[in-house]
Amino acid sequence: MAVPDALRDLSARPYQTWDEAFDNLARYAATEPLLVVIDEFPEVAAAVPDIEGILRAFLDRARGRTALRVLLCGSAVRTMQAIQEYRAPLYGRFDLTMQLHPFRPHEASEMLPSLRPADRAVVYGVVGGMPLYLSWWDQNAPIRDNLMHLACTPDGRMLVEGDLVLATEAGHGEHMEAVLQAIATGRTRHNEIADNTGIDPTRTLRDLTTLRLAERLIPVTESARTRRRIYRISDNFLAFFLGVLSPFRGEIDRGLGKSIINAVIGAIDEHMGGAWEEAFRDHLRLRAVEGDLGRDDVVAVGSWWRDGGSQIDAVALAGRSREPFLVGEAKWSKRINAARVKAGLAVKAAGLVLEPESLRYAVCGREQVEHADLDTLVVTAAEIFCDWH
């Protein structure tokens, strides 16, 4: 720890108690602001059970007498929420609460400058937007070698981290891991999850949504009260861990990783479908904010479907009336025919609006979108995974 103008050598004379540490740091900040960051606070709390009470007592006695500020960070969402709740020792002591979200596609691409846009898309679809996970990827090695090293060895970082995420977040709630596993394997509706797990998943789904491990999706044109809803794993990394890696976990631990890698590689295209569609929707939201969708009053971008009927990957709504004005489809294919996709979209859009020809159309393909007319918005990985600053 480096403290401005500190007379104490902390390597030789470390603090003996937390009270001593906070009081001493408060003196250093008597006239100049000083920020102290306590990272992974849930781990500190586990090691020092009374740390919340110690910190509360310090904040109460030091109020107005120091410019010291304390920043608590932690990746365990459940614990970080709990320390802010009523009756918790630190309740009412927080000046600012902020939840940091994983990088969006265009932000993640800045950590992968050596990769082609299509390969950036694969990496984002596999490890998601957490900076730590993105930093694991060797940009000088092919996808196969990366997955062999990260996922197909018993001590692979993706396997270790997946276990840690489930243990720290889903491990404290009954049935959470089972419900997540059901969603990851395609049981996305409430009744499908119930049939697969043998329980009523209502409360578990609510908890998983609060923890941002799962996401509740509804047709973008409907209100939150609708009963038409599906669930998806919020994080690409966790979806890949549960949906692709988990079925092979036992055999990877037994040393079959070199042969299992073929099955893992073969599962990527199917896994990328949902991740690619969400990246497309995120891109449309970004363009909406930039005023690049033809309307300056965009209020929502999301998916739309009818039970047992049509499904549209992206629908953009505008104005207080939430009028659909753009529809789009994303295909995880290197080359797609925009004219053919647009024709299919027009048929689906007939169930959304009375005049499908009045809509703007967007077509998204991995690398090339061919035969697009001038009115069609064309999107590829080169647009999604680029620097938007």
Instruction: Tell me the pLDDT tens digit for each residue of 209-263.
Output: 988 899 999 999 998 888 889 999 999 999 999 999 999 999 999 999 999 999 9
Task: Write the pLDDT tens digit of every residue in 62-94.
Answer: 988 899 999 999 877 888 889 999 999 999 999
Q: Same domain, yes or no, for 161 and 246?
A: yes
The more confident residue out of 297 and 168 is 297
Q: In what order do the strands lie in the sheet with 323-331?
A: 298-305, 311-318, 323-331, 360-365, 377-379
Where residue 122 sits, what CATH number does that domain have?
A: 1.10.10
Angstrom distance (rounded) from CA 187 to CA 269: 19
Number of domain units in the chain:
3
- Tell whether 154 is covered by a domain: yes
Report whether pLDDT(13) > 50: yes
Dihedral over Cα of 132, 115, 270, 348: its sign: positive
Calculate the average pLDDT of the chain: 92
Question: What are the residues facing 302 on neighbouring strands?
Answer: 315
Could you tell me which residues are beta bridge partners of residue 161?
Answer: none
327 found inside a domain: yes
* Cα gap 108→101, rounded to integer Å: 12
The domain in which residue 234 lies consists of: 105-275
Euclidean distance between CA atoms 241 and 159, whole angstroms: 7
DSSP β-bridge partners for residue 298: 318
Burial class (CB in 10 A: 0-12, 13-18, 19+), 158: buried
Distances (CA, A) of 213 to 159, 162, 267: 17, 12, 22
Query: What proportion of the chain, given as a percentage, has pLDDT over 90?
Result: 79
CB 236 within 8 A of CB 127: yes
357 in any annotated domain? yes
- Is 194 a member of any domain? yes
Residues 70 and 42 in one domain: yes
More confident residue, 210 or 116: 116
| Pair 60, 75 in one domain | yes
Last residue of a domain, one of 54, 74, 100: 100
Residues 6+ apart with CB under 8 A from 111: 103, 131, 134, 135
Q: Is residue 142 part of a domain?
A: yes
Mean pLDDT, to the nearest integer, of 19-44? Answer: 90
Q: Residue 262's CB: how many other CB atoms inside 10 A?
A: 11
Considering the domain architecture, whether residues 208 and 303 belong to the same structural domain is answered as no
Residue 78 is predicted with a pLDDT of 80
pTM of the model: 0.87
Q: For the residues 148-166, what does the mean pLDDT come to?
A: 95
Residue ending a domain, among 257, 275, 293, is 275
pLDDT(126) > 90: yes
Query: Average pLDDT, stretch 126-135?
Result: 96
168/299 same-domain check: no
- Residue 172: the pLDDT is 61
For residue 389, is it within any domain? no
In tens, the pLDDT along 167-223 reads: 877 766 678 999 999 999 999 999 999 999 999 999 999 989 988 899 999 999 998
What pLDDT does 134 receive? 97
For residues 229 and 379, what is the distance between their CA atoms, to the nearest angstrom? 27
Bigger pLDDT: 96 or 76? 96
Q: Is residue 8 part of a domain?
A: yes
Is the domain of 75 the same as that of 199?
A: no
267: tokens are 């599962």
Residues 224 and 290 in one domain: no
* d(C-alpha 26, C-alpha 46), whole Å: 24
Domain shared by 183 and 199, yes or no: yes
Same domain, 265 and 136: yes
DSSP letter (8 states) at residue 64: T
29: in domain: yes
Same domain, 329 and 374: yes
More reliable by pLDDT, 289 or 4 = 289
Residues 72, 201 share a domain = no
pLDDT at 171: 64
* Amino acid code (one letter) for 20: E
Q: Pick from 100, 134, 163: which residue ends a domain?
A: 100
Task: Give the range among 14-23, 137-146, 358-367 with minimum mean pLDDT.
Answer: 14-23
Q: What are the phi and psi torsion angles at 110 (to 5°)?
A: -70, -20
pLDDT given at position 12: 81
Q: What's the pLDDT at 6?
A: 57
Residues 176, 311: one domain? no
